[in-house]
Chain A
């Protein structure tokens, strides 16, 4: 199936600093990518929809100035957590939809990024 690569897989940063997470579609182009956040023992919660060449769409309660999304090419979306605080510590996951060999469009996910803010 299609491959979505996320980097880094783990990051530890100091409180107040910014962290950038990259999400790449390796063998297909993605005009839209999705960013999720997952706290321990909870389900994935959609944060925002990243649109190539235009502004991201944020879910209610997600601060757009804190979670900066840039989708400058058809294969790369980045999520920057600005002025990180310990409560931002979470598992961040990106996703993109791609057409499979069977002709269906399926969602594929990155490996996730474990962010720890100390």
Chain B
């Protein structure tokens, strides 16, 4: 799986949009971009994934650059409950029943 690079930490004011960047310059054509988050003392939670088009669901939006070398996860109206570590992972979904490999992620602190 391709390696990703994320800032170690970010702060965001409550109610504002949180924009979390991820660099994945070595991503291959078959690899998707996945985002998970881990709230303190809980297991990781799936957020969203995409291949090349922008994606949106009830939790977040995912913006992928045209060259696919980077992406941004957007939480449109961050709340205190969004404080967590956010992991960006690139993976080929057809790579079989293989585990996710986690980097260090970005620790997002939402501040009242």
Contact = CB atoms under 8 A, between A and B. Distances in A.
A44 to B, nearest CB: 5
A93 B99 contact: no
B70 to A, nearest CB: 20
Contact of B43 (A1, A45, A49, A93): A93
What size tier do the contact residues of chain A reach? 20 to 34
A-side interface mostly: strand
A109 B93 CA distance: 17
A89 interface: no
Contacts of A43: 87, 102-105
Nearest to A106: B46
B10 to A, nearest CB: 16
Interface in B94-112: 97, 99-105
A43 B43 CA distance: 11
Please classify the interface of chain B as helix (H, G, I), strand (E, B), loop, or mixed, using the class held by over half of its residues.
loop
Most chain B beta carbons < 10 A, residue from A1, A31, A109: A109
Contacts of A31: 97
A117 B41 CA distance: 17
B97 to A, nearest CB: 5
Nearest to B32: A104
A90 to B, nearest CB: 12
Contacts of A106: 46, 49
Contacts of A109: 43-45
Given A93-B44, A107-B99, A112-B42, 20 more contacts: A31-B97, A34-B99, A34-B100, A36-B102, A43-B87, A43-B103, A43-B104, A43-B105, A44-B38, A45-B102, A46-B99, A46-B101, A95-B44, A95-B100, A104-B93, A106-B49, A107-B36, A107-B46, A109-B44, A111-B43
